[in-house]
Amino acid sequence: MRLLLVVIYLILYTIVSIPLYLIMFMIGKIKPEKKAAVAQKIVVYFGFRPILFLSGVRLTVKGRENIIKDQAALYVYNHRGFYDVLAGYSTAPCPTSFVAKKEIEKVPMVSRWMKYMHCLFLDREDIRQGMQTIMEGIELLKNGTSVYIAPEGTRNKSDEILEFHDASFKLAEKSKCPIIPVALNNTDAVFEQHLPWIRSAHVIIEYGEPIYMEQMNREERKAIGKTVREILQKKVDQNRLEL
């Protein structure tokens, strides 16, 4: 039943999106600096939050005080499933860009809105293209757009967070922005655990305290991936007890 409701809503959203594309085009011409923020609000308030509601997701947010609203930050999260993005965007500051796998760029409606919000598409097979994406992310952060990234590089099905790709942290190091660990619990219980059905679930998202790489020595900076991973693992383990 929940799957049917979500599908119907997505169809309606697609239809409504057609005139919205024209509105976004006009905003891009008149006030291009506002386009990403407007797109994010449309997607969050008329897309993601209704889908969370129809899916029966009870979202608990911890550490809201650690969300930085007046400065771009690199939000590093553990990847559990499709609903990671819905939970993340529904609580993230504006503007925020997500780093997604290259294949998502081929999905027509989804990729269009993601491009409006300056989301980045990472090609994991092409090292040169991947570095170009990292450089684009650095520029976004320098220009005030936060970035959400999952350094595991793939969806994780186990309780143990996978090893992080260190290249992800170049975004923070080169842009000199803070890193905020984002621990996600139970997002895969909504969809991935029982494909193709959608089930109600309690999802917990916790924002950790900001980490500033410029305050670290050389050895600490080299181990940043391990440090953030350990912080996330601890929070994930603790929050699992509340589910």
Q: Which domain holds residue 118?
A: 2-240
pTM, 2 dp = 0.94
For the chain, 243 residues long, give each residue's pLDDT as a single digit of tens: 899 999 999 999 989 888 998 889 899 889 888 999 999 999 999 999 999 999 999 999 999 999 998 899 999 999 999 999 999 999 999 999 999 988 888 887 888 899 999 999 988 777 788 889 999 999 999 999 999 999 998 888 888 999 998 889 999 999 999 999 999 999 999 999 999 999 999 999 999 999 999 999 999 999 999 999 999 999 999 999 998
Position 155 scores a pLDDT of 85
Counting the structural domains of the chain, the total is 1
Q: What does the DSSP assignment read for the chain?
A: -HHHHHHHHHHHHHHHHHHHHHHHHHHHHH-GGGHHHHHHHHHIIIIIHHHHHHTTEEEEEE-GGG--SSS--EEEE----THHHHHHHTTS-SSEEEEEEGGGGGSHHHHHHHHHTT-EEE-SS-HHHHHHHHHHHHHHHHTT-EEEE-TT-S---SSSPPPPPGGGGHHHHHHT--EEEEEEESGGGTTGGGTT----EEEEEEE---B-GGGS-HHHHHTHHHHHHHHHHHHHHHHHTT-
Position 32 scores a pLDDT of 87
CB 95 within 8 A of CB 145: yes
Position 107 scores a pLDDT of 80
* CATH code of the domain containing 32: 3.40.1130
